[in-house]
Structure formats: C-alpha cells, structure tokens
Amino acid sequence: MRNESAYCMAVMVPLAAKSSIFLLLVLSITTPYLTVAATILESNTLRPNIKQTCETLKATVLTFLPSSSNYTALATKNWSGTAWSKPSCIVQPSSSSQAQEVVSVLSKGGVSFAVRSGGHMPSPLAANTDGGVLIDLSGLKSIQYDARKSEAKIGAGLKWGEVYAELERSKVTVVGGRVLDVGVGGLILGSGLSYLSDLYGLACDNVVNFEVVLAGGKLVNASARENQDLFWALKGGLNNFGLVTSFTLKTYSIYQVWGGVKLYNYTDLPKLLRAANEYQSTPTKDPYANFMLQAFPTNQSIGVVLNMVYLRPVPSPAAFAPFYNIPTTGDLTRVQTLREMMSGQGVPDIPRWDWRTTSFKPSEGVYERIEGVLAEAPEVATIAGLTGGTLALGLQPISTLLVDAGREKGGNALGLERMNQTWWVLDTGHWLEKDDEVAHEATKRLINKINDEVEEEQAEVDYLFMNDASWDQDVIASYGENNVAKLKAVRRKYDPQFVFTNLVFGGFKLG
Ligand SMILES: Cc1cc2nc3c(=O)[nH]c(=O)nc-3n(C[C@H](O)[C@H](O)[C@H](O)COP(=O)(O)OP(=O)(O)OC[C@H]3O[C@@H](n4cnc5c(N)ncnc54)[C@H](O)[C@@H]3O)c2cc1C
Ligand SMILES: *[C@@H]1O[C@H](CO)[C@@H](O)[C@H](O)[C@H]1NC(C)=O
Ligand SMILES: *[C@@H]1O[C@H](CO)[C@@H](O)[C@H](O)[C@H]1NC(C)=O
Ligand SMILES: *[C@@H]1O[C@H](CO)[C@@H](O)[C@H](O)[C@H]1NC(C)=O
Ligand SMILES: *[C@@H]1O[C@H](CO)[C@@H](O)[C@H](O)[C@H]1NC(C)=O
Ligand SMILES: *[C@@H]1O[C@H](CO)[C@@H](O)[C@H](O)[C@H]1NC(C)=O
Ligand SMILES: *[C@@H]1O[C@H](CO)[C@@H](O)[C@H](O)[C@H]1NC(C)=O
C-alpha cells in the first residue's frame, strides 16, 4: 500500500497548489471564492501540521488520536484489510454542523482527509488515510420516515440493515443494498444496485435530496429543485463533490416477498448460465423478479449460489422458470420479509478482498466463452494457491427497465445505455498482504480475458459498475465523454479549489 503522507508531501501539495494558482487566475475575475482559494494556496505552501489540526478538531468533535483505545478498531474497520490504514486522527461528527466544522478546518488547512460511511469498499485508501484525517460518519445515524410523502431521510453513517429494520416496522422499504452490513454512503454515491432496481432504478436514482457539506464547509441541499447540477453529479459521483451527511430516499410498500438462496452443484454452472440468459432474454421481463448468481471456481464444493427474490409473496413465480428444472442441492426460498431474505445472504469470512467488474450484452455464446475462460485460465489456480485464496464470480442481470426507471426519475451521471446487460464481477479474497498484488494481477488478467471473449462476440458495454470495480479501473471515464465534461463543470462550480479531488484523493476520482 502506498504511503499517503509521503505521497501527500511529494505530489499532492504541488498538485493542489498548481490547481489553486490556476484557479486563482480564473476566479479572480469571476467569483467570490478568491479569498478561500488564496487561503488554501497559502496553507499548502506552509505544509500543514496535521497533529495541530487534530488538536483543533478535538475541541468541537469526537476525535480519536492513535493513543486512544478506540483508534485501532476504527482504523482497521472493517470489511477488507486492504482498506486499513493509519490516520493521524479519526473524527466522528454527530451532526451536519459538526461535519461542516470539520470540512471547513480541513479545507482551509489544506489537510488531506478521507470520508467513510460503512467502510465496505476494498480499494486501498478509498475511505481511509495514511497520515491524514479520517472522517468516520458512523455518528450520523438518524432515520426520519415521512409516510405522507413516502420518503425517508437517512443519516450517511447508517448500514442498510439498520435502515431496513426501522422501515420494516412501517412495512415499507427503500432501494438499497442487498447485504445488510454495507454502508449507505458509498453504495448510493457509487450508484447502488438493489433487488428493487428493475422496478425503481438504482439506489442513486431514488434519492430525493442529498444534504451535502461542500469544500469550505457550506451545507447545501441537492435535489430536483435546488442545485440540480450537483444533484445529478452525485448520482455516480462518489466523493468527488462533497461530504454527504444525509440522503432522503423514496420509500415503497414492499414487505413480504418470496425468495432466498438456492444452491446447485458446481458442475451445473453451464446450465445455470444458460438459464440466466433465458431469463434475461424472455420478452417482457417481470420487474418484480431479480437475482444474483455467484459461484466459486476455486472452491467448487461450495457450488453455485443463487440469491433470488420476487418482490411479492408469490412462491415460484414464472419469471424464474428457466431455473426450475435444474436440480438444487439446497433450497432456502420461502415467503418472508425482504429484510429477512437479505439477512440469509452469506458472506465469506476472508480478511482481504479485491474485485473487478466488466459489463456486456448477455447471450449463450458470451456465457459459454466466459465459462471456458474460468475452466482453463491458469490465473484461477494462481488465486487458489494463495493462503485462503478464493475466487467468486457474480452475475447481475440488468434490464432496460432499470435504465428507463433511472431516466424517468431525472437521470444520473452513469451514462447507461438503454440495453439489457450483465454486470459481471470477479471477487478475489485471500489472507495475506504480501499476496495483494498477485491476487490483483490475476483477477485483472481474468477480466481482460473475459473482455477479449466479449469483444469476439461483439457484446461490449462501456459502463463499469463502480461498486464492483477495482481501484485501477477508470470507472468515471466509463460514464462517457459528455458526462465527464459535465461532471468537471459541476466540480468547477461547487469545489473550485478541487478540495475533494486533491485533499480527498482516495476512491474513484474524476480525472
Ligand atoms: C458484502 C458486500 C455486499 C455488497 N452488496 C452490494 C449491493 O448489493 N449493491 C451495490 O451497489 N453494491 C454492493 N456492494 C459494494 C458497495 O456498495 C461498495 O463497496 C460501497 O462503496 C460500500 O459503501 P460503504 O459506505 O460501506 O463504503 P465506504 O468504504 O465507507 O465508502 C466507499 C466510498 O464512498 C465514499 N463515501 C462514503 N460515504 C460518503 C459520504 N457520505 N459522502 C461522500 N463520500 C462518501 C468514501 O469516501 C469511499 O470512497 C457490496 C459490498 C460488499 C462488501
Ligand atoms: C469506544 O468503543 C466502545 C466499544 O465499541 C464504545 O462502547 C464506546 O462508546 C467508544 N467510546 C467512544 C468515546 O466513542
Ligand atoms: C464489521 O463490523 C461489524 C460491526 O462492527 C460486524 O458486525 C461485522 O461482522 C464486521 N464484518 C467483517 C467482515 O468483519
Ligand atoms: C434543505 O431542505 C430542507 C427541507 O426543505 C430544509 O429544512 C433545510 O433547511 C435545507 N437545508 C439547507 C442547507 O438549505
Ligand atoms: C456434483 O456433481 C458431481 C458430478 O456429477 C458429483 O460427483 C458430485 O457428487 C455432486 N455433488 C453434490 C454435492 O451433489
Ligand atoms: C430487453 O429484454 C427484454 C426482455 O426481457 C425485451 O423485451 C426488450 O426488447 C429488450 N430491450 C432491448 C432494448 O433490447
Ligand atoms: C476456498 O478454499 C481455500 C483453500 O482451500 C480456503 O482457504 C478458503 O477459505 C476457501 N474459501 C471459502 C469462501 O470457503
């Protein structure tokens, strides 16, 4: 893992200073941001004393220094060891105004920082910092459900399990993550694939309002009525524009569903991929049906795991007909609440993860070729040979219904093409830090091989799904040139000193 503070001193400071100088020239004739730009320029030149900044923050917000007993648990939270690091201090704002104070101090001081919600992104330093200040949002956990408006305002430090448990009491839910331990912040700002997405679009499409702390510390709303350009940019823009303190989401009356896990013999993977293709090409896709298929080429005794859900309490609906004649080795499907169904989703207990995504148009031919790659590529054995080495494949069917639903709700920054597609992921888990690079390179080669086959079938789809992407995939570029240009214009307007680019440099960045 690269050393962020050294990187900050050597590279980021000149970079930040350079853009500030540039902006200074541009802004001196146009905007009132001039004084802030000058402050940042000056403090970067002075090289910030981060320890002093931590002491300053301690006066207003709950702050953990490396010497405090809770520091280690927070610095090494939680999903993947690849995301652990050593911040100079960790702050936990408990209100939007505290978050404003923190961002104000850090932007003015030119101090590098990171923002973390649920901590589930495995990319090194996406939500952590080596030597900077980590803003941990887990103090922002309020939920306000407004039944009249069918909206819920949720704090950015919540996990999906907490959100669903509260809303389930009113028999409603939101378009959110499929695994309960994941945080709301990263998932929504990276787009957010849900079991409800064919009905209502991605999680980001269902945001009614983002409450955002901008660089410098100003708090604004971004919605269809206020700051519409920022509203659009945050739907896929991750941490490039500000720190989101709360999301107001649409709620839906979905409660009892049919679904759960079905298990299959690994040897039936080819049949299951054919069934998936049939499901994806049936005329008039039923929006209430959704699934995620996973299999473990390195651990074939686990078999194939199919998480399926029908968003009505209708057992074995016709939408999944292509799967029904394949014999299962286990079947946990039943009528239950959506939250119960998701709580049955197992996640392998492995300490380090990397994953990598690609998208394509599904067909029997593409799936056969991918199966061939996974059966023959030596990289599978390379991963299997690592301590705890595990490779999982994931198939996520995306229909035009999802794309249309997002457009109807105002559109997002993702540049999705209106076509049925598959968002494919390879998840690689292992135990030891020394194996990170081998795991990363092997996964990358596998995805490249899959992409070669996809190209042979002329089934390419440009979009890369951020929430399944590896740190070196250029996700935002995949949104398309026009959207990238629009995003850059939004950044110039709301963050003219590039604080959320240069001081917050982890995660998927706008170039
Ligand atoms: C077990 C598991 C299951 C998953 N299931 C799904 C799924 O069903 N659907 C799906 O779409 N994805 C899924 N993902 C991927 C997941 O959405 C991403 O890993 C996401 O980044 C996690 O969000 P987080 O808040 O937990 O992560 P974090 O690591 O805390 O944050 C991720 C990124 O978002 C930024 N960020 C977070 N909150 C804010 C904020 N409030 N303001 C500004 N920036 C912020 C961080 O700076 C960081 O760069 C899953 C991941 C795991 C590990
Ligand atoms: C420290 O962690 C413990 C255990 O998670 C928690 O109960 C306690 O409230 C934390 N202390 C502070 C100051 O947050
Ligand atoms: C992460 O932490 C939460 C709560 O602190 C815990 O429930 C969960 O099991 C942890 N996940 C992992 C992968 O360690
Ligand atoms: C955002 O909108 C809400 C609801 O209209 C309002 O109460 C709040 O004051 C607004 N916040 C800001 C920062 O404008
Ligand atoms: C899976 O199929 C193979 C080949 O048909 C068979 O040898 C094996 O016992 C099966 N495993 C299970 C769990 O049914
Ligand atoms: C997408 O697939 C559905 C069937 O699920 C089909 O009816 C529709 O025509 C397809 N759309 C496009 C744009 O190919
Ligand atoms: C896969 O197999 C390896 C080696 O046998 C093991 O260490 C790892 O834990 C397994 N993965 C899972 C998810 O069971």
CATH of the domain at 401: 3.40.462.20
Q: State how far the Cα of 439 lies from the Cα of 392, in Å rounded to an integer.
A: 12
HSE (CB half, 13 Å, CA atoms) of 260? 19
Both tokens assigned to 226: 């206020």
Give me the amino acid identity at 409: K
**Helix residue ranges, H only, 67-177:** 71-75, 96-109, 160-168
- Residue 210 domain flag: no
CA distance linking residue 381 with residue 401, whole number of Å: 38
Q: Does 285 sit in the ligand 6 pocket, CB within 6 Å?
A: yes
**Residue 388: CB within 6 Å of ligand 7?**
yes
CB-ligand 7 contact for 299 (6 Å cutoff): yes
Task: Tell which of 139, 167, 186 closes a domain.
Answer: 139
Please tell me the residue having the least CA distance from ligand 6 atom 10. Answer: 420
For the CA of 80, the closest atom of ligand 3 is 13
Distance, CA of 192 to CA of 24 (rounded, Å): 37
Whether 7 has a pLDDT exceeding 80, the answer reads no
Give me the pLDDT at residue 79, please: 87
C-alpha of residue 368 to centroid of ligand 5, in Å: 21
- With the most atoms of ligand 7 within 8 angstroms of its CB, the residue from 263, 299, 382, 393 to mutate is 299
Per-residue confidence (pLDDT) for residue 347, from 0 to 100: 83
Do 271 and 128 share a domain, yes or no?
A: no
- Which DSSP symbol is given to 309? E
**Ligand 7 atom at minimal distance to the Cα of residue 388:** 7
CA-CA-CA-CA dihedral for 14, 471, 405, 323, to nearest 10: 180
Ligand nearest, relative to CA of residue 280: 6
The predicted-structure confidence for 430-479, as pLDDT tens digits, reads as follows: 999 999 999 999 999 999 999 999 999 999 999 999 999 999 999 999 99
Query: From residue 480, how far is each of 35, 417, 485 by CA, in Å?
Result: 34, 10, 9
The pair of structure tokens assigned to 91 is 């702050």
- According to DSSP, residue 159 is labeled B
The answer to whether 503 and 111 are in contact (CB under 8 A) is: yes
Say what the pTM is.
0.92
| Atom 9 (ligand 5) nearest CA | 265
Q: Is the CB of 400 under 6 A from ligand 6?
A: yes
73 occurs within a structural domain: yes
Q: What is the rounded distance in angstroms from the CA atom of residue 188 to the CA atom of residue 191?
A: 5
Residue 53 CA to ligand 2 center (angstroms) comes to: 23
Indicate which ligand has the atom closest to the C-alpha of 209.
4
Q: What is the domain range of residue 404?
A: 256-477
Does some domain include residue 234?
no
Query: Ligand 3: does its nearest atom lie under 6 Å from the Cβ of 79?
Result: yes
Q: Is residue 182 part of a domain?
A: no
**Secondary structure class of 112 (helix, strand, coil):** coil
Tens of pLDDT, residues 264-310: 999 999 999 999 999 999 999 999 999 999 999 999 999 999 999 99
Q: What is the mean pLDDT of residues 69-81?
A: 92
Domain boundary among 114, 139, 164: 139
* β-strand pairing of 243-250 with 304-310: unpaired
Q: State the chain's mean pLDDT as an integer.
A: 91
Strand partners, 304: 264, 295
193 lines ligand 1 (CB under 6 A): yes
For 251, list phi and psi in degrees, rounded to 5. Answer: -115, 155
Distances (CA, A) of 159 to 124, 155, 293, 354: 21, 9, 23, 21
Pair (313, 453) in one structural domain: yes
Instruction: Report the domain count for the chain.
Output: 2
Ligand nearest to the CA of 139: 2
**Identity (one letter) of the amino acid at 233?**
A
Contact 17, 23 (CB under 8 A): no
Å from CA of 112 to ligand 2 middle:
25
Query: Maximum CA pair distance of the chain?
Result: 71
pLDDT of 77: 84
pLDDT, tens digit, 9 for 90 and up, residues 207-262: 999 999 999 999 999 999 999 999 999 999 999 999 999 999 999 999 999 999 99
Q: Domain end: 139, 167, 196, which one? A: 139
pLDDT tens digit string along 333-383?
Answer: 999 999 999 998 878 899 999 999 999 999 999 999 999 999 999 999 999
The reported pLDDT for the residue numbered 477 is 98
Q: Which ligand is nearest to the CA of 122?
A: 1
Q: Which atom of ligand 4 is nearest to the CA of 219?
A: 13
Query: Is 446 among the domain residues?
Result: yes
Whether residue 129 has its Cβ less than 6 Å from ligand 1: no
Whether residue 255 has its Cβ less than 6 Å from ligand 3: no
Query: What's the CATH code of the domain at 134?
Result: 3.30.43.10
